[in-house]
Structure 1
Amino acid sequence: MTFVSALTSAILPVLLVAGVGFTLGRVHDVQVDALGTVAVYVLTPCLVFYSLATTTLGSGAVAKIAVGVLGYIVVMTAVAEGAARVLGLGEPHRGAFVLSSTFPNGGNYGIPLARFAFGPVGQSVAVLYIVAVDVLQYTLGVFLAARGGEGDLRESITEIFRLPLLYGLLAAVAARLLGVVPATDTALMQTIQLVGNAAIPVMLLMLGIQLANTRSGPSLTRAGIPTVLKLGVAPVIAVALALGLAFADGDVARVFVLECAMPAAVTPLVLTIEFSGDTETAFSAPEYVSTVIFTTTVCSTATLAVLIWALRDGLLGI
């Protein structure tokens, strides 16, 4: 396994599809909300259900992924909070800094990349990872975005219970516990698989369109430290957690590390817009988050290729 093969086999397919979305977003006034609705309410729940209903991962691995996600988010939040205080950032920019430095884009970037890099196991782990991250984004993430800002905290936290992916997860768990998962060659499961697989290219197109519509802000240099935290510090923390959790399956551990190393997520931007109450200043909190999303996504092309190469060759001890 070489750096070039990691780049061409895992990163390049992601970039090509996202590039189509980026070009489409530049040429046409594409509203990504419609695609988002389809992805969130139809495609992703099917992907979650099929991946988890048919996964070979044991309950021990699932529990370790959940513990790992919680540990990663808690540690990264503490590190980012400390860095923001050292920099003298006040609210709402401190919340924007912490959110964009902590939460990874494990969905429309992470799931496809994990699939290309590690196959079906990568997809299953990535799906579990993003479910756990979404729960934390709509709880801890909402709190961070709302500090010193505006918005109904309680109402937004209940949003997690309106996310169909949560019910896709619960349905898959219930089906496995009751032993009623349909055979993969039945019409029902083939339909669910077909719809779920459509989520991967659609998520990549959405990523490209979102980047095409993202304002990078007046100064990219302000995103320097969050970018270092997200792409440099986060993988180190993830490796330490993976080694500490001692995953029985090395590929599960590798995908966990890969997901943690993803660039900044888009959901924190939505939360910052809704809760920070800071959208009119020269360099607002939402603009801060969008700048970090842009810079981390662009820079991650190189960092993730190196990480995949190191993970596949066992250079990190995993």
Structure 2
Amino acid sequence: MNLALTVLEITAPVFLLASAGFVWVKLGFEFRTQFVTRLAMTLAVPCLIFTALMNTSLDKGALGTFVLAALAGHAVMAAAGEILCRFSGLERRTYLAPFIFGNTGNLGIPLAMFAFGEAGLGYAVVMLAVSAILSFTYGIYLVAGHSAGSKAIREPMVWATLLGALFLWQDWHTPRFLTNALELTGQMAVPLMLITLGTAVARLTPGETGKAVALSLVKFLVSAAAGWGLAAAFGLDPAASGVLILQLATPVAVTSYLLAEKFEADSSAVAGLVVVSTLMSALLLPLLLSQVLEI
């Protein structure tokens, strides 16, 4: 009973805020997704990443090990996705990127933060940075057939990660007045990401629901198993293990739909995966969290 209550306390704020965005759109209220997304990804999230890394009390070696585990997690998902596409006949450029990349930002960061506190936030922003860099390079290559490494370099949260890592390595800190301003700005990130997630799901139309349900379930099972295995293989501590497992198991990222739309893959199929996997995560992630908390 206590464990169930703990899981509810962790997951309820995440899905309530996402539901607020969903209801907002369904009521016909205006929500300028492009503006809010740009505000979050250009200002709020980079501030959150930088301050989380600068202020973290996590061991530098532990963070380095976590980066390797995160890279390995994406590699495992890529290999599993390649096998799935080859033997099921699914179009690689449509389905592989959504299979690899989860919603480590909008959903993963809040969930990790509520579940594991400051330590969870520190690991979660590292996972987001790894996922974002891979998404803007390898992910675009999968969908468009060409690399876009220059786009990753232009992303503010990539620079925030590098700068935060430098401050962490050197044990530097910004002046208190600046730190307060950066932390206050970063506090916008979590509610903005969750509400935007809800509005995005509300505006997408699922297609081929049966296939989307099957693929979403396969993605969840493979990613959760990969997370458990890699956490043990790399000897991660409980917080790092929990974040790795949860982040890998997050539903299909909305950015996968945006890439499919931009580069003319089957965007309607990806939209269905985003919607269905996100709705399924409301049931699956709490179940997974209940197991993770017992590590």
Structure 1 length as normaliser, TM-score? 0.88
- Look up the equivalent residue of 1:291 and give its one-letter code: G
The structure whose residues are more often helix, as a share, is 2
- In structure 2, how many angstroms separate the alpha carbons of the residues matched to 1:14 and 1:158? 33
- In structure 1, how many angstroms separate the alpha carbons of the residues matched to 2:289 and 2:248? 12
- CA drift at 1:85: 1.6
Residue of structure 2 in register with 1:169 after alignment: 161
Q: Secondary structure at the match of 1:207?
A: helix
Q: Deviations over 1:275-311 (max 9, x none)?
A: 2x34xxxxxx111111111111111111111111111
Q: Secondary structure at the match of 1:38?
A: helix
Query: Paired residue for 2:187, among 197, 202, 216?
Result: 197
- In structure 1, how many angstroms separate the alpha carbons of the residues matched to 2:112 and 2:47? 18
CA contact (8 A) 1:95 1:144 kept: yes
Residue of structure 1 in register with 2:140 after alignment: 142
What is the number of equivalent residue pairs in this alignment?
Answer: 294
Q: Are positions 1:257 and 2:257 aligned together?
A: no
Q: Secondary structure at the match of 1:37?
A: helix
Q: Give structure 1 regions of 4+ aligned residues with deviation exceeding 6 angstroms.
A: none
Residue of structure 2 in register with 1:224 after alignment: 213
Residue of structure 2 in register with 1:281 after alignment: none
- In structure 2, how many angstroms separate the alpha carbons of the residues matched to 1:213 and 1:157? 30
- In structure 1, how many angstroms separate the alpha carbons of the residues matched to 2:3 and 2:288? 9
- In structure 2, how many angstroms separate the alpha carbons of the residues matched to 1:74 and 1:45? 25
- CA drift at 1:2: 4.7
- Look up the equivalent residue of 2:93 and give its one-letter code: G
Residue of structure 2 in register with 1:236 after alignment: 225
Q: Deviations over 1:233-266 (max 9, x none)?
A: 110011101100002x221111111111111111
Q: How does 1:13-92 map to 2 (within 5 A)?
A: 13-27=13-27, 28-89=29-90
Query: Paired residue for 1:133, among 121, 131, 134?
Result: 131
- In structure 2, how many angstroms separate the alpha carbons of the residues matched to 1:252 and 1:216? 33
Bigger shift: 76-85 or 49-58? 76-85
- CA drift at 1:4: 2.5
Tell me the C-alpha RMSD between the 2 structures.
1.6
CA contact (8 A) 1:6 1:308 kept: no
Residue of structure 2 in register with 1:119 after alignment: 117
CA contact (8 A) 1:231 1:263 kept: yes
- In structure 1, how many angstroms separate the alpha carbons of the residues matched to 2:102 and 2:190? 17
Residue of structure 2 in register with 1:268 after alignment: 256
Bigger shift: 168-177 or 80-89? 168-177
Query: Paired residue for 1:207, among 191, 197, 221?
Result: 197
Q: Deviations over 1:73-120 (max 9, x none)?
A: 11111111211121122xxx3222111111110001110111111111
- In structure 2, how many angstroms separate the alpha carbons of the residues matched to 1:263 and 1:167? 26
Bigger shift: 193-202 or 60-69? 60-69
- In structure 2, how many angstroms separate the alpha carbons of the residues matched to 1:305 and 1:180? 37
- CA drift at 1:31: 2.4
CA contact (8 A) 1:265 1:293 kept: yes
Q: Deviations over 1:193-221 (max 9, x none)?
A: 1110110111111101111111112x201
CA contact (8 A) 2:227 2:241 kept: no
Structure 2 length as normaliser, TM-score? 0.95
Which consecutive unaligned segments of at least 5 residues does structure 1 have?
148-152, 279-284
- Look up the equivalent residue of 1:167 and give its one-letter code: W
CA contact (8 A) 2:46 2:156 kept: yes
- In structure 2, how many angstroms separate the alpha carbons of the residues matched to 1:96 and 1:31? 27
Percent identity, aligned pairs only, is 28
Q: 1:237 to 1:145 in 2, by over 3 A?
A: same
CA contact (8 A) 1:14 1:113 kept: yes
